[in-house]
């Protein structure tokens, strides 16, 4: 039972992360020419999401 609960929790974290990244229109389609620039856009979107969540309002 404990393993199923942990895997469901992990699945929820993964789905939530993809939902956050899906908000960025540039990531919704493959606009980048290289894998490296696509990876860079994913990093930028992740950094932007983290700073918005960590920064205080104001």
Residue 54 corresponds to which tokens in the numbers above? 């960590």
**Mean pLDDT in order along the chain per 10 residues (58 residues):** 66 84 79 85 89 80
For 24, 28, 52, 53, 54, the CA distances from 57, given in Å and listed in that order, are: 21, 28, 9, 9, 9
Structure confidence at residue 8 (pLDDT): 73
Say which residues have a Cβ less than 8 Å from residue 13's Cβ, sequence separation at least 6. none
Q: What is the pLDDT of residue 58?
A: 57
Q: Residue 25 and residue 48: Cα distance in Å, rounded?
A: 14
Read off the pTM: 0.64
């Amino acid at each position: 039972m404990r393993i199923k609960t942990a895997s469901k929790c992990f699945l929820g974290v993964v789905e939530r992360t993809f939902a956050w990244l899906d908000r960025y229109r540039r990531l919704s389609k493959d606009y980048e020419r290289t894998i490296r620039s696509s990876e860079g856009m994913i990093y930028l979107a992740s950094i932007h999401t983290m700073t918005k969540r960590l920064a205080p309002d104001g």
